[in-house]
Amino acid sequence: MARRRRLVLAGAAAAVLAVVCVGGYAAFSGSGSGSTGHHHGDPGDAVWPTASTTRAAGLPKAPVAGATDSVPPSGAAHLPVWAAWTDAPAVPAPLVSGVRAVRMDGTAYVFGTDATGAIRYLTRTGGSFGPWGKLTGIHVSGEPAPVVLPGGVLRLFATGTDGLIYQRDYSGGTWTPWSQLDGHTRVDSPPAAAATGDRVDLVARIGGDLATTSYVGGAWTAWAAVSTVGQVAGDPSLAAGNGGRVDAFVAASAGTVQHTQLADGLWHTYHPVSGVTGQARPEAVQLGTGETYVFSTGPAYAASASGVTWIEGTLPSGPASSYAPAAYTDGGGITLFRVTPSGGLQYTHGK
């Protein structure tokens, strides 16, 4: 009798495990579509997490430059004149993350995340918005990070709720399935990405470190800690600059925003960004003239032509938001998007 009870209990446990696995697959895979083309593979593009983990204690140090930073451009930064905030088309489901944006072939793409972990995105060509699109296949934590690659390819990076980073491409009206970046490195923030030609630089916070990896020569380098900024507490941002330079911004534990540069494969000495504080992700964008603009959740923003000396500007008034904004340049100035307290989307333009 005792042996029979053990067999019955073992069979019941196996049945429960099978139900949990099936339910987990259904929740993880999801379904969805894209607004500008066919969205491949949901739920078949679901990617399962692995058990191994890389954490900050095991990270090597990224290569650093000497005490002097790269030579900055000269001149004072221009403070744009901003239009009033305007409502974007209503989001089908409220956003619960910051937003990020990129512009490719005359069309802007704005990405955020809803409460189900699905990515919502909006397109804008000229002054006209397209319908909202939805990407699923994984559950996403925080806002995704888009970059534009040669040949008209938009690559999107996102941190899954398992802490792993995933990527997928959009080209010719079609999204590829999600794939894992390396399958074992877990991060503690959404990623930030910048592309210079066919090179992609990626940063994320791992513990109290700003960690980085780069796609060079067809492969990703090992993750490494950027020691030039010390301990960090916020989510990072990247902006691609002139001459292949990449500028990184991240909040330290005290709430001050630090700025460091990656040039010729070396990370340079950091400089504090005056005028922008808080531990939310700072949003950064750089004009073709070299001027850099850094935004956060409040009305204040900072502008610099040198990356060292910053002047403070103020955005139009409006309801406060706790989510990081998104910015892109369009040749005639800067377009800035922000999430409203109710999860909607607004935009303004400065020139």
172-181 pLDDT per residue, tens:
999 999 999 9
323 pLDDT band, cuts 50/70/90, is very high
Q: Is residue 5 part of a domain?
A: no
Phi and psi (nearest 5°) for 10? -65, -40
Q: Is a pLDDT exceeding 80 seen at residue 297?
A: yes
Average pLDDT over residues 340-344: 96
Confidence category of residue 115, pLDDT binned at 50, 70, 90: very high
Higher pLDDT, 3 or 173: 173
3-state secondary structure of 141: coil
Confidence (pLDDT) at 306? 87
Summarize pLDDT for 228-256 with one digit per residue, the tens.
999 999 999 999 987 889 999 999 988 89
Residue 72's pLDDT band, with cuts at 50, 70 and 90, is low
Domain contains 330: yes
Largest CA distance in the chain: 88
Looking at the domain assignment, is residue 13 inside a domain? Answer: no
In a domain, 7, yes or no: no
Q: Other C-beta atoms within 10 Å of 57: how many? A: 9
Residue 1 belongs to some domain of the structure? no
Q: Give the CA distances from residue 305 to residues 52, 77, 94, 296, 308, in Å, rounded to whole numbers and listed in that order.
A: 43, 5, 36, 19, 8
Q: What's the rounded Cα separation, in Å, for the pair 149 and 146?
A: 10
What domain count does the chain have?
1
Higher pLDDT, 22 or 226: 226
pLDDT at position 71 is 52
Token digits of residue 78:
């221009």
Exposure pattern of 177-211 as b/e (b: 16+ CB <10 Å)? bbebbeeebbbbbbbbbbbbeebbbbbbbbeebbb
pTM to 2 decimal places: 0.85
Report the percentage of the chain scoring pLDDT > 90.
70
Residue numbers of the domain that contains 267? 18-48+61-350
Q: For the chain, give the number of residues.
A: 351
Tell me the residue type at 264.
D
CATH assignment of the domain containing 65: 2.120.10.70
CB 300 within 8 A of CB 74: no
Which pLDDT does position 63 carry in this prediction? 95
Whether residue 43 has a cis bond before it, omega within 30° of 0 = yes
pLDDT at 57: 56
**If pLDDT is split at 50, 70 and 90, which confidence band does 46 have?**
very low
Res 69 pLDDT > 90: no
Q: Report yes or no on 12 lying in a domain.
A: no
| pLDDT at residue 68, as a whole number | 56
Pairing of strands 174-175, 38-39: parallel
Q: Is residue 56 part of a domain?
A: no
Percent above pLDDT 70 for the chain: 81
Backbone angles phi and psi of 21, in degrees to 5:
-65, -45
In a domain, 114, yes or no: yes
Residue 238 to residue 145: CA distance in whole angstroms: 10
Whole-number Cα distances in Å, 277 to 11, 110, 237, 267, 304: 57, 24, 14, 22, 16
